[in-house]
Amino acid sequence: EIIFEEVNYYLAIGDNTLLLESLDNAVQSDSLNAVLHLVLGNTYSQLGDIQKAEASFLKSIELDEDYFDAYNNLASLYLDQAAPLVEKKNGLSYKQEKLFNKYTKQINNFYNQALPHLESCLKIHPEHVQIADALKEIYYKVDKPKDSMKMKELIDLPNDQKKSFVADFFSK
């Protein structure tokens, strides 16, 4: 329990280096704690260590397959990597077709990596409008217009109808 207090302290003061050290100790003492792996993933992400962040989020999901935050943070990790590429792509002139195509391919790769994790979020919380909206946008961008339109339908439904709609959508 002292380890958890230490983790919370370093989280509060924003000292990622000491937080990482403390988290390593906490994970060693409670390796089956999905929350610790999530916090470890967030810390690695803030420090720019994408591979370790991804591994930590995946471990968190492995430990708790219904952990919304772990899926959401993993999807965000991929989407955050796409964002600077989108900016670069948007800044290109029409004459830079090869570079445009290169960025498009890289961006779509990140979107496709994020999709299954956002879909898991929606399965866990079908009423989550922000997730449905993100899926609507990404489906559109990766050329899945029918799925994008389905997410638009979902967003417009009353909450009491969303669970069955999502179940039907993913049963296809």
Tens digits of per-residue pLDDT, 84-124? Answer: 999 999 999 989 999 999 999 999 999 999 999 999 999 99
Burial of 70 (C-beta count, 10 Å sphere; 0-12/13-18/19+): buried
- pTM equals 0.90
Burial 22-49 (b: 16+ CB within 10 A, else e): bbeebbeeeeebbbbbbbbbbbbbeeee
Please, what sign has the CA dihedral across residues 5, 6, 11, 12? positive
pLDDT of residue 18: 85
More reliable by pLDDT, 139 or 25: 139
pLDDT of residue 1: 62
- The rounded distance, in Å, linking the Cα atoms of 104 and 65 is 31
